[in-house]
Amino acid sequence: MPPEIPAWALDADAAAGNRLTTPWPHRVTREWAWGGSDGSGARVCIVDSGVDADHPRVGGIDRAVAPFAGADGEIAIAEDRAGDVSGHGTACAGIIRALAPGASITSVRVLGPDITGAADDLLAGLAWAIEQRFDVISMSLSTRKRSVVPDLYRLADDAYFAGSLLVACAHNLPVESFPWRFASVFSVAGHAGSDPFEIHGNAAPPVEFYARGVDVEVAWSGGTTITATGNSFATPHLAAVCARIRGAHPGLTPFQVKQLLYLTATNVEVAA
11 domain-assigned: no
Backbone dihedral angles phi then psi of residue 65, each to the nearest 5 degrees:
-135, 170
pLDDT of residue 116: 93
Cα–Cα distance measured from residue 135 to residue 246, given in angstroms and rounded to the nearest whole number: 7
126, 182 contact by CB (below 8 A) = no
Give tens-digit pLDDT for 217-266: 999 999 999 999 999 999 999 999 999 999 999 999 999 999 999 999 99
Going by pLDDT thresholds of 50, 70 and 90, the confidence category of residue 112 is: very high
Give tens-digit pLDDT for 162-189: 999 999 999 999 999 999 999 999 999 9
143 domain-assigned: yes
> With pLDDT > 70 as the criterion, what percentage of the chain qualifies?
95
Check pLDDT > 80 for residue 16: no
pLDDT of residue 26: 67
Beta bridge partners of 190: 211
pLDDT of residue 232: 98
Backbone dihedral angles phi then psi of residue 268, each to the nearest 5 degrees:
-105, 130
85 domain-assigned: yes
Give tens-digit pLDDT for 56-104: 999 999 999 999 987 787 899 999 999 999 999 999 999 999 999 999 9
Residues sharing a CB contact under 8 Å with residue 193, sequence separation 6 or more, in sequence order: 12, 15, 212, 214
On the CB side of 40, CA atoms within 13 Å amount to 4
- Ramachandran sector of residue 115 (left: φ over 0; alpha: ψ -120 to 50; beta: rest): left
pLDDT of residue 148: 96
Residue span of the structural domain in which 183 resides: 37-266
Beta bridge partners of 137: 45, 166
Check pLDDT > 70 for residue 24: no
Higher pLDDT, 30 or 4: 30
9 domain-assigned: no
Does the reported pTM lie above 0.85?
A: yes
Residues sharing a CB contact under 8 Å with residue 63, sequence separation 6 or more, in sequence order: 79, 106, 107
200 domain-assigned: yes
pLDDT of residue 247: 98
Q: In CATH, what number is assigned to the domain containing residue 77?
A: 3.40.50.200
pLDDT of residue 1: 38
48, 140 contact by CB (below 8 A) = yes
Assess whether the previous peptide bond of 254 is cis (omega < 30° from 0). Answer: no
93 domain-assigned: yes
On the CB side of 89, CA atoms within 13 Å amount to 35
Beta bridge partners of 43: 104
User: Could you please report the per-residue DSSP string of 63-79?
Assistant: EEEEEEE-TTS-EEEEE
Assess whether the previous peptide bond of 25 is cis (omega < 30° from 0). Answer: no
End-to-end CA distance of the chain: 40
Higher pLDDT, 19 or 120: 120
Number of structural domains in the chain: 1
Per DSSP, helices labelled H in 166-253 are: 231-248
10 domain-assigned: no
271 domain-assigned: no
Q: What is the b/e burial string over 24-37, where b = at least 16 CB atoms within 10 angstroms of the residue's CB?
A: eeeebebeebbeeb
